[in-house]
């Protein structure tokens, strides 16, 4: 692959009460690099922007970009080529709704941090062009996610205990 995921810029809404260590997310990027066999040598070093948001702002984002007037757990936005930085090193933006994640983790009997890492990896894969519109695409994307998450000590996120 002609890129290397190198860094994360983390921001959050004022009322989001969550402090996550950047190093945990960097480890996720490192595992994505290994799984996809990316290389730092002679390739673009890319940055992912992560916004931790609340339900109100996630609902606005979802409506603005997909026309859906409801909150969701994660959204990925590929950068506009006309608005990239001078080094052209942004792979895109991910918005994760902390309130929705907390609710889903409780309902699905999952550890919150595990669920957050899963959706972060899922969002990054979307930025890299992976989709789950068909069974074949979904199977491929889910297998990559499961491989990465297992190396983080996280069980298959698609097995939900209710």
72 within a domain of the structure (yes/no): yes
158 within a domain of the structure (yes/no): no
Q: Which residues on adjacent β-strands are paired with residue 4?
A: 45
CATH code, domain carrying 46: 3.40.390.30
Radius of gyration of the chain (CA): 15
Please, how many CA atoms are within 13 Å of residue 139, restricted to the half-sphere of its CB?
Answer: 3
Cα–Cα distance between 87 and 32 in angstroms, integer? 22
Res 135 pLDDT > 60: yes
Reference 28, options 104, 122, 101, 94; nearest CA is 122
Residue-number span of the structural domain to which 56 is assigned: 3-151
Q: What is the pLDDT of residues 58-70, one digit of tens each?
A: 999 999 989 999 9
124 within a domain of the structure (yes/no): yes
What is the reported pTM? Answer: 0.91
30 within a domain of the structure (yes/no): yes
160 within a domain of the structure (yes/no): no
Question: Residues 27, 29, 125, 145: is their CA dihedral positive or negative?
Answer: negative
Structural domain total, the chain: 1
156 within a domain of the structure (yes/no): no
């Amino acid at each position: 692959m002609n890129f290397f995921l190198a860094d994360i810029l983390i921001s959050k809404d004022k009322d989001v009460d969550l402090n996550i260590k950047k190093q945990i997310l960097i480890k996720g990027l490192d595992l994505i690099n290994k799984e996809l066999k990316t290389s730092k040598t002679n390739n673009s070093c890319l940055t992912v922007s992560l916004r931790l948001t609340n339900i109100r702002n996630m609902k606005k984002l979802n409506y603005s970009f997909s026309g859906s007037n409801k909150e969701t757990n994660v959204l990925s936005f590929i950068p506009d080529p006309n608005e990239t930085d001078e080094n052209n090193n942004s792979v895109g933006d991910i918005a994760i709704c902390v309130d929705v994640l907390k609710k889903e983790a409780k309902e699905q009997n999952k550890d919150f941090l595990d669920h957050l890492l899963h959706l972060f990896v899922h969002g990054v894969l979307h930025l890299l062009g992976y989709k789950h519109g068909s069974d074949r695409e979904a199977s491929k994307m889910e297998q990559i996610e499961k491989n990465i998450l297992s190396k983080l000590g996280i069980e298959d996120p698609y097995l939900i205990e209710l």
